[in-house]
Chains A and B, each alone.
Chain A
Amino acid sequence: MGDTATAALALADGVVRHDWDGEAVVYVEASGDTHLYDPALTLVLDALPGAGGDLVGWAARARTALGAPQGFETWFPAAVARLRRDGVVVEQAGLDRTAEGGA
């Protein structure tokens, strides 16, 4: 993993990494009390080469596909990112939390 990524991950709390041959995934925990934008989470992601703060609400889309109604709130208590061997982020996603809002 690249120096910048290693340093960023080492400095952050709530970071877990799992390695496979040639790549890794990291779990980055947010403060948990923010709505849509989490400064701590974004700080870590921004420090990772190739990453950014553009989090996508995957679970919300999946819930909609299962028939859940629209109008649910979404926020991001954590993110996951996939890193190449050199530490560059090649994929990331917010782990969104949806709560009943419009049912």
Chain B
Amino acid sequence: MNLGDLAPGPLAGALSRGLAFRCGPFVIRLRTRLPIMWRAMAALYADAPVADPDAFIDYDVDMRPRRRWVRPTAVFCLDGRAALEPLPLAQAPALFEWGLNWAVVETCQDTLIFHAAVLARDGQALVLPGQPGAGKSTLTVALVAAGWALLSDELALVDTATGLVAGLPRPVSLKGPSIAIAGRLLPRGTFGPCIPETSKGAMCHLRVPPELTQAEPARPTRVVFPCFTPGAAAQCLPLPKGQAFMRLAEQSFTYHALGRAGFEVAARLIDGSETADLVFGDAAAAADLLSTQALPAEAVA
């Protein structure tokens, strides 16, 4: 049974008591009495399987209200402890997603984690590391619309033993103009509540239909650094592997914990991948470029 199989009333009741569900390799138990979270979960996690009652809980999350009348806020609690700064109640769905990111990064210290989107086609993974504003999420939606499977929008979890990237298909986080663009690119997607005035501007999360996601791990073969540039034609530029390594390290969350092992795993990832920069002004054109053309060969120094 998935969360979407529960009618709104029973789903709200289950979430109020605490409902465990599967998300990629993790089991999350969410307890919340916030109606905005009930709506967000119904929209964004409808495809998440309800976990067995005796399943091991990786993340025990409580989204609590704080202050009822004067500027009410939501608090993200992990294992009973407030983990992040409270945010206005209307931003609770964003706080939940950010809190999960934080929890995964804090607890998966034996996994090499990058701030990157991951998509796969024909069993091969495309890794898109990127700073906020690089156009990563919009490009991710465009690639899904072009036939790629979504493994993750925010976190690339690289198994240090196998080098494979795990599937963690959670809602895609969209900001500002990207929200409308993503809606046009993927009309089959489902938006969660619109969240105004976050620290990143207006936000909305998009659930990608389950048939367009992939939970199975995939081997990374391309590492592409997107760079959204208004008006620019989509173009892949060669990127030497040393530079790609440094850029990838910049986007790592757990490299510090893995130390030398993290260095070696990242180096192997770059060894086994083609690397490039991708400049684009139109996400659909960039997705088409990545779907139909090989990356440019690296110029030998």
Contacts and interface: CB of A to CB of B under 8 A. Distances in A.
Interface in A1-48: 14, 16, 18, 20-25, 27, 29
A54 interface: no
Contacts of B84: 67-69, 103
Contact of A22 (B85, B101, B300): B300
Given A63-B253, A66-B154, A24 B242 contact: yes
Contacts of A95: 249, 252, 255-256
A65 B114 CA distance: 13
Interface of B: 82-85, 94-95, 97-99, 101-102, 105-106, 115, 131-132, 154, 199, 240-243, 245-246, 249-253, 255-257, 259-260, 263-264, 267, 270, 300-301
B199 A67 contact: yes
A103 B131 CA distance: 23
A27 B257 CA distance: 14
A41 B258 CA distance: 17
Contacts of A14: 260
Given A59-B252, A103-B82, A103-B84, 11 more contacts: A14-B260, A22-B242, A22-B300, A29-B259, A63-B253, A66-B154, A78-B260, A80-B246, A95-B249, A96-B256, A97-B256
Contacts of B94: 67
Given A20-B240, A66-B98, A66-B101, A93 B250 contact: yes
Nearest to B240: A23
A82 B242 contact: yes
A21 B132 CA distance: 31
A82 B250 CA distance: 13
Contacts of A16: 260, 263-264
Contact of A27 (B115, B131, B263): B263
A85 B249 contact: no
Given A78-B256, A103-B85, A93 B249 contact: yes
Interface string A48-63: 0000000000110011
A62 B82 CA distance: 21
B85 A69 contact: yes
A90 B131 CA distance: 21
A59 to B, nearest CB: 6
A59 B248 CA distance: 11
A16 B246 CA distance: 15
Contacts of B300: 21-22
Given A25-B245, A69-B85, A93-B250, A80 B101 contact: no
Contact of B242 (A25, A59, A67): A25
A78 B98 CA distance: 27
A2 B102 CA distance: 42
B256 A67 contact: no
A66 B97 CA distance: 9
A97 B242 contact: no
A100 B122 CA distance: 40
Contacts of B115: 62, 65-66
Nearest to B132: A65
Contacts of A66: 98, 101-102, 105, 115, 154
Contacts of A63: 102, 105, 253
Q: What are the 5 A-B residue pairs with the smallest beta carbon separation, nearest first?
A: A67-B98, A22-B301, A23-B242, A27-B263, A18-B267
B260 A29 contact: yes
Contacts of A83: 242
A95 B251 CA distance: 11
B255 A22 contact: no
Interface in A59-103: 59, 62-63, 65-69, 77-78, 80, 82-85, 91, 93, 95-97, 100, 103
